[in-house]
């Protein structure tokens, strides 16, 4: 069964702290996507990771991909309240061009 | 501006009714998708289409139907056979993912509630 597991599913943290969200997947893939969703809103693309060892950074968010371990991480540095949202990872299996497999999402609450 | 337009944003359905959610994109994308999201949950694929006049069932296609008569449009009909349709519905589009890892772009979503 194709599975994408995010950990943790819920995270409450203080502003200024660092934390990491993990995304493990069960299928062979070299394409992983991170999205952000605000409450009641649509999904916004954050990162597209296309190869083993890929690292991308945008502001206080940094994403990385280890295809051998089938693991991606989303690291938050010095969190601010505006980063409060639900974060999803999604994986494109090697034998597919269209059907992403989605994680359940990590709900992140950052307290002032 | 290029993008994906979903309508209506809010829709109420009576028991036994069919309703249709509209999705239009002007991104010139070949692939289009419909996802369902229940409160506090992830996304589940209902249908997707790789090309005009062709579409495939996703993981939860029962009780839904789609058409793809034009490249720009991919309407979703929620039929009376869908017993629990209350959810947030997201339309999306992309070029084939094999092309340099193109990402999926989402519309603003439609909230469907059964009354």
Is the confidence at residue B86, as pLDDT, over 80?
A: yes
Which among B42, B48, B109 has the least Cβ separation from residue A104? B42
pLDDT for B101 = 58
Q: Would you say residue B17 has pLDDT above 70?
A: yes
Q: What is the pLDDT of residue B97?
A: 59
User: B97: which chain A residues are within 8 Å (Cβ-Cβ)?
Assistant: 31, 92, 96-98, 100
Burial (CB < 10 A; 0-12, 13-18, 19+), residue A71, is middle
Percent of chain B with pLDDT over 90: 72
The three-state secondary structure class of A81 is: helix
pLDDT tens-digit profile of B67-80?
A: 999 999 999 999 98
Picking from A100, A105, A107 by the largest number of B CB atoms within 10 A of its own CB, the best residue to mutate is A100
> Hey, is the C-beta of A39 within 8 angstroms of any chain B C-beta?
no
- The Cα–Cα gap between A55 and A47 comes to 9
For B18, half-sphere exposure in the C-beta direction (CA atoms, 13 angstrom radius) is: 10
Q: Residue B48 above 60 pLDDT?
A: yes
Q: Are B16 and B8 in contact (CB under 8 A)?
A: no
Please tell me the predicted confidence (pLDDT) of residue A99: 81
The dihedral of CA B55, B58, B61, B64: what is its sign?
negative
**How do beta strands A106-111 and A85-91 pair?**
antiparallel
pLDDT of residue B98: 55
Which pLDDT tens digits describe chain A residue by residue (112 residues)?
A: 789 999 999 999 999 999 999 999 998 887 899 999 999 899 999 999 988 888 999 999 999 999 999 999 999 999 999 999 999 999 988 877 678 889 999 999 999 8
Per-residue confidence band for B89, with pLDDT thresholds at 50, 70 and 90: very high
Check if the beta carbon of residue A93 is closer than 8 Å to that of residue A2. Answer: yes
CB–CB of A98 and B109 under 8 A? Answer: no
Whether chain B has a CB inside 8 Å of the CB on A17: the answer is: no
- pLDDT value of residue A55: 93
Q: How far apart are alpha carbons B43 and A45 in whole angstroms?
A: 14
């Amino acid at each position: 069964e194709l599975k994408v597991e995010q950990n943790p599913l819920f995270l409450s943290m203080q502003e200024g702290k660092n934390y990491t969200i993990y995304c493990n997947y069960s299928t062979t893939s070299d394409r992983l996507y991170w999205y952000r969703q605000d409450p009641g809103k649509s999904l916004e693309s954050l990162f597209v990771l296309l190869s083993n060892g890929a690292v991308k950074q945008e502001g206080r968010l940094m994403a990385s991909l280890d295809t051998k371990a089938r693991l991606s991480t989303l690291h938050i540095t010095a969190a601010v309240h505006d980063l409060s949202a639900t974060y999803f990872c999604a994986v494109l299996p090697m034998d597919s061009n269209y059907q992403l497999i989605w994680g359940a999402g990590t709900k992140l609450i950052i307290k002032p | 501006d290029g993008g994906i337009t979903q309508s209506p944003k809010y829709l109420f359905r009576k028991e036994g009714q069919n309703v249709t959610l509209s999705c239009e994109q002007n991104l010139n994308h070949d692939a289009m998708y419909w996802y369902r999201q229940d409160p506090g949950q992830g996304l589940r694929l209902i249908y997707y289409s790789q090309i005009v006049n062709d579409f495939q069932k996703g993981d939860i296609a029962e009780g839904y139907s789609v058409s793809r008569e034009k490249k720009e449009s991919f309407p979703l009909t929620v039929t009376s056979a869908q017993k629990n349709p209350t959810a947030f519905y997201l339309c999306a589009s992309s070029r084939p993912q094999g092309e340099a890892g193109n990402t999926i772009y989402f519309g603003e979503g439609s909230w469907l509630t059964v009354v």
